[in-house]
Amino acid sequence: MVFKYNMTKKILAVIAATIIQICLGGVYAWSIFVPMLKKQLGYVTTQTQIIVGLTLGIFAFSMIFAGKFEKKHGPMLAAIVGGVCLYSGYFLATISGGNFTVLCLGIGVLGGIGTGFCYVCTIVVAAKNFPLQKGLVTGIVVGGFGAGAMVLTYFIKYLISIQPDVQVLEIFKFLGYINGFTILTCSFLLHYDRTSVVQTTNDFAFSFTNRDFITLFVAMFAGSFAGLLVIGNVKPISLSLGYTDDIATTSILLLSFGNMSGRVIWGFVMDKVGVNKTLIVAYSILCISAIMVNFIAPSDTLLYICLLLVGLGYSSIFVLFVNKSAQIYGVDKLGVVYPYVFLSYGFAGIIGPLIGGLLFDLTQSYVYALVFSGILTAFAASFYTIRMKENA
């Protein structure tokens, strides 16, 4: 009876963690706000990408502090802090009056901090509750992040259909209320049995010059850069290639579906064949599909397939690197170690969407950015393969 009770608590914790990830994942639907921000607030493309880039960057950097906070105070309190920050950020954006600096502070800084605190405690809950199936379970939980973009895209699409003149700041107000309430409610279900977590005997001393860390950092940066460049600009990319607004919006859904389903798929594959082989396949898919987006117009079907594959390849980073970190340093140190690896995502989050928007403002084309991101991904896959063979 005790076993059933404990297993029920573990399952509920994973469900709650997945729901929280869905709330966080709306950031991946950011490109749907880009036309609204430009039309209603007079922003240029670069400004819209600075906001989302700041969100993703702060998200990654805050995970370092969030990981230490979670290890000391537990996942429930970490999620509560995250939920309050996320709500406060959207509330500040709502009353900003469209001021760019205030919007950056609200959605970028406070929203990024809230996302970081919530994200780290949910992946720790997944890995520590199911250490023997951590690839699959972690994939399910972070799959919620990808699903969040789909949920938000459907909602915005429906809202615009019934209220074409809806203001973007009003949408931010709604998101603050619903996400804040949901996260705070789910936080009370987050837990893991600290006595059941296997303690590793290796002494961890973090170093930025450690060979394993450099390999993980570089590989994760490249995959994040390519994926976030497309995610942050997917709607304007589709529009720039001559597709209609409906096709561009559907493109977000297809990319988000690939991002969501891929996290579960790669988790399952990784548990079967290992991290290294899975990374090579996933990065090959990401490289080829990112470049091919430029050359498949005017076929909307091929556009959907390419963006689905971009999301699929990109999603692998959230399963592979968390599990590789646990493999190298031990699952008990995951909450402290992984945020340092995840810093690469933060740098990519700042640089990727920004470069995509900046290059478009300069050239009125996304071709150069997409080709560069594909080449960078290919380099990272090669670099990772060479370094892993050296360590074998």
Q: How far apart are the first and last CA of the chain?
A: 44
Q: Is residue 147 part of a domain?
A: yes
Encode pLDDT of 237-280 as tens digits.
Answer: 888 788 888 888 888 888 888 888 887 888 888 878 888 888 88
Residues of the chain with pLDDT under 50: 1-3, 5, 201
pLDDT for position 207: 64
Q: Is residue 203 part of a domain?
A: no
Q: Is residue 197 part of a domain?
A: no
Q: Is residue 303 part of a domain?
A: yes
Q: Is residue 305 part of a domain?
A: yes
Q: What domain range includes position 56?
A: 2-192+208-391
CA pair distance 315, 111, nearest whole angstrom: 21
pLDDT for position 75: 92
Concatenate the DSSP letters of all residues of 243-295 into one string: --HHHHHHHHHHHHHHHHHHHHHHHHHHHHH-HHHHHHHHHHHHHHHHHHGGG
The pTM for the full model equals 0.74
CA-atom Rg of the chain in angstroms:
20
Q: Is residue 202 part of a domain?
A: no
CATH code of 162's domain: 1.20.1250.20
Distances from the Cα of 42 to the Cαs of 38, 47, 72, 100, 280, in angstroms?
5, 10, 44, 10, 42
pLDDT for position 201: 47
CA pair distance 225, 222, nearest whole angstrom: 5
Q: Is residue 47 part of a domain?
A: yes
pLDDT for position 4: 52
- Burial of 161 by CB count in 10 Å (0-12 exposed, 13-18 middle, 19+ buried)? exposed
pLDDT for position 1: 42
- State the total domains in the chain: 1
Q: Is residue 198 part of a domain?
A: no
How many C-beta atoms surround the C-beta of residue 13 within 10 A? 24
